[in-house]
Amino acid sequence: MRTLIALLSLAFLCLVSKPTGAQGRPIPPGLREADKQTNKPLDPPLIATPSLDLAKLKQEADELAQLSGGLPSDLAHVARGQLPKALTEKLKRIEKLAKHLRSELSQ
């Protein structure tokens, strides 16, 4: 009888002291923060938004390509000591188009 009581007491102590589920397991440092980062909502996909005027952007990109395509011949004139009048205006226009395209696409 004493042996049975001792065995039942031992079994009870084992059940009480044994952790059940996740309550008794220690959580490693940073795991909760990692779960927060994992479950964080994703950024919206990069697609053309209605606010972008794709036709205008394409026109500006084509103009930028045309203007920059003429730069080598203009720079050849500069190398010979001739400064074309339109070169500074062309460079300003290239800069303006590039800045506008960058700002529109980064929104």
Closest to 86 in 3D by CA, of 100, 69, 74, 97 = 74
The 10s digit of each residue's pLDDT in 54-107 is 899 999 999 999 999 999 999 898 899 998 888 999 999 999 999 999 988 887
pLDDT of residue 56: 92
How far apart, in whole angstroms, are the C-alpha atoms of residue 56 and residue 97?
11
Domain boundaries, the chain: 54-105
Assessment of whether the complete model's pTM goes beyond 0.75: no
Q: Give just the sign of the alpha carbon dihedral 77, 82, 86, 88.
A: positive
Tell me the pLDDT tens digit for each residue of 39-53.
667 777 666 555 778
CA distance to 31, 86, 105, per residue, from 97 (Å): 48, 16, 12
